[in-house]
Amino acid sequence: MASALFPLFADLHDRPVLVVGGGAVAERKLAALLEAGALPRIQALALSPAIQAWLDEGRVTWIGPRFHPRALEDVWLVVAATDDPQVNQEVAAAAQQRRVFANIVDHAELSSVHVPARVQRGDLQIAISSGGGAPMVARHLRRQLETFFDDSWGALTALFARHRQAIRARYPDTAQRRRFFEQVLQGDLPRLLRQRQQARAEQWLEQALRDSPARSVGSVVLVGAGPGDPGLLTLHALRAINEADVILHDRLVSDEVLQLARRDAQRIEVGKSAGHHSVRQEAIHELMLEHARAGRRVVRLKGGDPFVFGRGGEELQVLRAHGIDFEVIPGITAAVACAAYAGIPLTHRDHAQSLRLVTAHCKDSLDTLDWPALAQSRQTLAFYMGVAGLDTIQARMVAEGCPPSTPFALIENGSRANQRVLAGRLEQLAVAAREHGICSPALLIIGEVAGLAVDLHWFGAPPLSADQARALPVHTSLPHAA
Ligand code: SAH
């Protein structure tokens, strides 16, 4: 079996390095070398425009059109990035003879050093090697790591580098130092860095060095889970869900999203579904406070975006009043997600210049809406929680002068495998929805743009047409909320 590669990070600052080749690959290598502060020399017949620009700026030195072994005399490393196998071979052989490390791009066998796939956060670098045999595996892993380490890790690294002497003085013993670091990670420092509270982070560390690291007093991350498709989570949301000890989630949050939590995380459904509230809002506040005070990593997970008809504001006010720190991670709100997944551009130069997000939650909210404003043209309306109020919405819109022929689209379970889209004219809305048995969660879009759903649909089944619904008499009472 071949021996394993020895990993090392090379300090190439102010050291000459030879690059053979002047195309796109050479350009990428040169960029990395320049970033590392190396002094690149280049041998190539033709240079890419970017390489030419570096040459003009004096950052790269051109030393001839063709590789010559003499060029290896005083360099620390040579990189061959040509597509000529003969030249690559020549470079490898000459480098071997002169004991200069050589990286022959895409030729693991010819290379005496390999350039790893890497994740970089400031001075922190994670390098991944497959031994040269399976670069795809290394690249795949790199992408996964990219999502797990946000750039606060760079800030953490810099902070620890700045306080290195003080930390060593305070904890001379390695085991003690390691314990100190573990405690720091459990405390509030990572969160302060994520929140870009540099000064507070600095104070926190100084304080921790004077006394000992304070245990986290607990904090809550308010996270938007998006409309259901886990692919629509943000990287921050994914990380928070992965790290959570306790997840307090609404019913709207999909199982696929909840499955991303750690197995040992406690999941508590506190959610409401349209029509009935399973846990009172005050009880949700109590649960958040209780778990946060116990020092747990609490994620309050809400469907869509936490600040759009999500009562996120109220929950944060309670946390602030009780001195509990928090973070907010936005999510893709139902209007944005459903529109995208139904092929409806929410604004369009020909049809709509503005977008209104409207709640049709209950009779009270329907009564207090500004219907004359909603009935105006050249805008798009997105009604949340509207399934029970479709008759009222249709009747009031038409009564205020919105043309009965205005297109609508009703999107049920938007972005999920069971998504259905019903498209038609405003005058057909309530009857067609009943006929097709549209249930919550569903989002209603009214406006000229809704008509585009028929042409621009790309996800799931094509829209159901309201014309196919049997003509039924309009009910006078509100239909049953799903
Ligand atoms: N905070 C959420 C909205 C909560 S109100 C957000 O930003 O999306 C709940 C309403 O959102 C539902 O009644 C429905 O109108 C809408 N909704 C949420 N998820 C939906 C989905 N996947 N498909 C259709 N409508 C959805």
Domain CATH number, residue 299: 3.40.1010.10
Residue 128 lies in a domain: no
Residues 179 and 268 in one domain: no
The pLDDT, as a whole number, for residue 208 is: 93
Q: What pLDDT, on the 0 to 100 scale, is given for residue 276?
A: 54
Residue 125 falls inside a structural domain: no
The count of other CB atoms within 10 Å of the CB of residue 367 is 10
Range of the domain at 412: 336-481
256 lies in a domain? yes
| pLDDT tier at 213, thresholds 50, 70, 90 | confident
pLDDT digits (tens, 9 = 90+) for 251-287: 989 999 999 998 899 999 997 654 555 578 899 999 9
User: Is ligand 1 within 6 A of the CB of residue 333?
Assistant: yes
- State which ligand 1 atom lies nearest to the alpha carbon of 307: 1
From 332, 358, 392, give the residue that closes a domain: 332
- Tell me what pLDDT residue 479 has: 45
* Least confident among 96-100, 147-151, 292-296, 317-321: 147-151
| 186, 194 Cβ separation under 8 angstroms | no
Phi, psi at 20, each rounded to 5°: -105, 120
Q: Answer yes or no: is the C-beta of 415 below 6 A from any ligand 1 atom.
A: yes
Alpha carbon of 97 to ligand 1 centroid (Å): 68
CA of residue 53 to ligand 1 center, whole Å? 52
Whether residues 391 and 430 fall in one domain: yes
The reply to whether 290 and 361 lie within a common domain is no
Are residue 460 and residue 352 in the same domain, yes or no?
Answer: yes
Q: Rounded to whole angstroms, what are the CA distances from 341 to 60, 308, 344, 456?
A: 49, 19, 8, 10
Is residue 450's pLDDT more than 90?
Answer: yes
411 located within any domain: yes
How confident is the model at residue 482, as a pLDDT?
38
Could you tell me the distance, in angstroms and rounded to a whole number, from the CA of residue 154 to the centre of ligand 1? 36
Percent of the chain with pLDDT strictly greater than 90: 81
- Mean predicted confidence (pLDDT) in 15-43: 97
* Average per-residue pLDDT for the chain: 92
> Residue 132: inside a domain, yes or no?
no
Q: What is the CATH number of the domain that holds 53?
A: 3.40.50.720
User: Domain check: are 185 and 231 in the same one?
Assistant: no
Residues 477 and 348 in one domain: yes
Instruction: Confirm whether 4 is domain-assigned.
Output: no
> Mean pLDDT, to the nearest integer, of 243-254?
92
Asked whether the predicted pLDDT for residue 341 surpasses 50, the reply is: yes
Verify that 268 and 251 share a domain, yes or no.
yes
- pLDDT of 473 over the 60 cut: no
Give me the number of domains the chain comprises: 4
pLDDT average, residue stretch 61-66? 95
371 occurs within a structural domain: yes
Give the chain's end-to-end CA distance (angstroms, integer): 64
Instruction: Tell me the mean pLDDT in the region 8-29.
Output: 97
User: What backbone phi and psi angles, to 5 degrees, belong to 134?
Assistant: -140, 65
Range of weakest confidence among 29-38, 359-368, 393-402: 359-368
Q: What's the whole-number mean pLDDT along residues 385-406?
A: 95
Res. 353 pLDDT band, cuts 50 70 90: very high
Q: Which helix (H) or strand (E) holds 408?
A: strand 407-412
Strand order through the sheet with 325-329:
266-269, 246-249, 297-302, 219-224, 325-329
Are both 345 and 469 inside the same structural domain?
Answer: yes
Are 427 and 358 members of one domain?
yes
Give catalytic status of residue 14 as yes or no. Answer: no
| pLDDT value at 182 more than 90 | no
Q: How far is the CA of 270 from the centre of ligand 1 (A)?
A: 16
The atom number, within ligand 1, closest to the CA of 419 reads: 23
**Atom number, ligand 1, closest to the C-alpha of residue 331:** 7
Average pLDDT for residues 387-401, to the nearest whole number? Answer: 96
Write down the catalytic residue from 250, 305, 325, 391: 250
Residue 117 pLDDT class (50, 70, 90 cuts): very high
Residue of 233, 250, 252 best suited for mutating to test ligand 1, as the one with most atoms within 8 Å of CB: 252
Which pLDDT score, from 0 to 100, does residue 329 have? 97
What sign has the CA pseudo-torsion 166, 170, 174, 178?
negative
Asked if 328 and 350 sit in the same domain, the reply is: no
Q: Would you say residue 200 has pLDDT above 90?
A: yes
Q: Which atom of ligand 1 is nearest to the CA of 413?
A: 23
pLDDT at 181 over 80: yes
With respect to residue 431, please indicate whether it lies within any of the assigned structural domains. Answer: yes
Question: What's the rounded Cα separation, in Å, for the pair 108 and 217?
Answer: 51
Please state the length of the chain. 482
Pair 32, 72 in one domain: yes
Q: Is 29 known to be catalytic?
A: no
What local confidence, expressed as pLDDT, does residue 471 receive?
A: 46
Q: Are residues 326 and 346 in the same domain?
A: no
- Domain edge (last residue) among 299, 332, 365: 332
Kindly tell me if the per-residue pLDDT of 469 is higher than 80.
no
Long-range contacts of 124-129 (CB under 8 A, 24+ apart): 124/149, 124/153, 124/154, 124/156, 124/157, 125/9, 127/7, 127/9, 129/5, 129/7
Domain end (from 332, 365, 386): 332
Task: Please report the pLDDT score of residue 279 as a whole number.
Answer: 73
